Amino acid sequence: MSGHAAPPAKDTSLLMASGLSVKFGGLLALNALDIEVKRGEILGLIGPNGSGKTTFFNVISGIYSASSGNVVLDGQDTTTLRPQQIAAHGLARTFQRSRLCLSLSVFDNLMLGAVRRLNSGLWYNLVRRGQLAADIGSAAKEARELLAIFNPQLADKLWQPAISLGMIDRRRLEICRALIGRPKLVLLDEPSAGMTHDETNQLMSEILEVRRGLGGLTIVMVEHEMGLIERATDRCVVLNYGKKICEGKYSQVAADPQVREAYLGKS
Amino acid sequence: MSFLSANGAGGPELFSSQVGSRMSFLSMKGKGGQILSSVLVAACVACSLVAVLDIEDQRALGICIAVIAGVAFALSKLGIVQAAEQAGVHHPWAVRCIIVAAFAGVLLVLRENNFALLMSATILIYATVCLGLTIQTGFTGLFNFAGAAFLGTGGYTAAMLANVTWLPDIIVILSGGLIAAALGTILILPVLRTRGHYAALATLAFGILFYGFLEANELLGGPQGLKVPGITILGWDFANEPTLGGISFSFYANYVVLIGAIFAVFMIFTRFVERSWIGIWLDAVRLDETAASVFGLRVSLWKSFAFTTGNFLAGVMGAVYAKMTAFIAPANFTFGDSLTLVSIVLLGGIGNRWGVLIATMIVVLLPEKLQFIQEYRLLLFSCVIIGLLFVRPGGLLARRVRVFGGQ
Work out the mean pLDDT of chain A and round it to a whole number.
88
B64 lies in the same domain as B81: yes
Whether the Cβ atoms of residue B229 and residue B168 lie closer than 8 Å to each other: no
Q: Which domains are assigned to chain A?
A: 13-264 (3.40.50.300)
- Considering chain B, what is the average pLDDT of its residues? 85
Same domain, yes or no, for B37 and B121? no
CA distance A101 to chain B (A): 6
Residue B18 lies in a domain: no
Highest-pLDDT range among A36-50, B311-325, B340-354: B311-325
Q: What is the pLDDT of residue B146?
A: 93
- Is residue A159 a contact partner of residue B401, using CB atoms and an 8 Å limit? yes
Query: B403: distance to nearest CA of chain A, Å?
Result: 6
What percentage of chain A carries pLDDT values higher than 70?
95
Neighbour tally for B327: CB within 10 Å: 14
- The answer to whether residue B24 sits within a structural domain is no
**Res. B4: pLDDT tops 80:** no
Give a yes or no: residue B164 inside a domain. yes
Handedness of CA A137, A139, A143, A145 (dihedral sign): positive
What CA–CA distance (Å, rounded) separates B284 from B251?
45
Residues B69, B122, single domain; the answer is no
Greater confidence, B390 or A64? A64
Q: Which of A233, A217, A182, A249 is nearest to A40 (CA)?
A: A217
Q: CA angle at residue B109 from B106 to B114, to 5 degrees?
A: 90
Residues B274 and B312 in one domain: yes
- Show residues of chain A in contact with B293, CB under 8 Å: 62, 82-84, 87
| Chain A residues near residue B276 by CB distance under 8 angstroms | 125-126, 132
Give the residue from B10, B69, B3 showing the smallest Cα distance to B38.
Answer: B3
Residue A2 has pLDDT above 80, yes or no: no
B93 touches chain A (CB under 8 A): no
Strand partners, A195: none
pLDDT for the residue numbered B28:
37
Residue of B nearest to A161 (CA): B401
DSSP annotation string for B259-294 = HHHHHHHHHHHHHHHHTSHHHHHHHHHHH-HHHHHH
Cα B10 from Cα B406, distance rounded (Å):
12
- The residue in chain A having the minimum alpha-carbon distance to the alpha carbon of residue B268 is A126
pLDDT confidence bin for A258, thresholds 50/70/90: confident
CA distance B366 to chain A (A): 33
pLDDT at B407: 40
Residue among A83, A103, A144 minimizing CB distance to B293: A83
> B15: pLDDT confidence band, cut at 50, 70 and 90?
very low
- A218-243 average pLDDT score: 90
Residue by residue, DSSP assigns A60-91 as HTTSS--SEEEEEETTEE-TT--HHHHHHTTE
B97 and B127 assigned to the same domain: no
User: How distant is the Cα of A81 from the closest Cα of chain B, in angstroms?
Assistant: 11
Q: B393 — contact with chain A (CB < 8 Å)?
A: no
Q: Does a structural domain hold residue B6? A: no
Determine the distance in angstroms separating the CA of B217 from the nearest CA of chain A, rounded to an integer: 38
- Both B99 and B121 in one domain: the answer is no
Confidence of residue B374 (pLDDT cuts 50, 70, 90): low
Is B277–A119 a contact, with Cβ atoms under 8 angstroms apart? yes
Residues of B in contact with A61 (CB under 8 A): 294
Range of the structural domain that residue B138 is part of: 112-391
- Any domain includes B9: no
Using one digit for the tens of pLDDT, what is the confidence trace for B150-209? 999 999 999 999 888 888 889 999 999 999 999 999 999 988 887 778 888 889 999 999
Q: Report which of B307, B315, B280 is spatially closest to residue B189, judged by C-alpha positions.
A: B307
Total count of domains within chain B: 2
**3-class state of residue A44 by DSSP:** strand
Name residue B70's beta-bridge partners.
none
- Alpha carbons A31 and A244: distance in angstroms, whole number: 8
- Say yes or no: B219 contacts chain A, CB-CB below 8 A: no
> What integer is the mean pLDDT of B26-41?
74
- B17 vs A: CB within 8 A: yes
Residue B236: give its domain's CATH number: 1.10.3470
- Look at A107 and B404 and tell me if their CB atoms are within 8 Å: yes
How far is Cα B336 from Cα B340, in angstroms, rounded to an integer?
6
Contact B288/A101, CB-based, under 8 Å? yes
Q: How confident is the model at residue B280 (pLDDT cuts 50, 70, 90)?
A: very high
Contacts of A160 in chain B (CB under 8 A): 12-13, 16, 401
Same domain, B209 and B120: yes
Complex-level ipTM? 0.89
Q: Does the structure show a pLDDT above 70 at B22?
A: no
Judge if B185 and B207 occupy the same domain.
Answer: yes
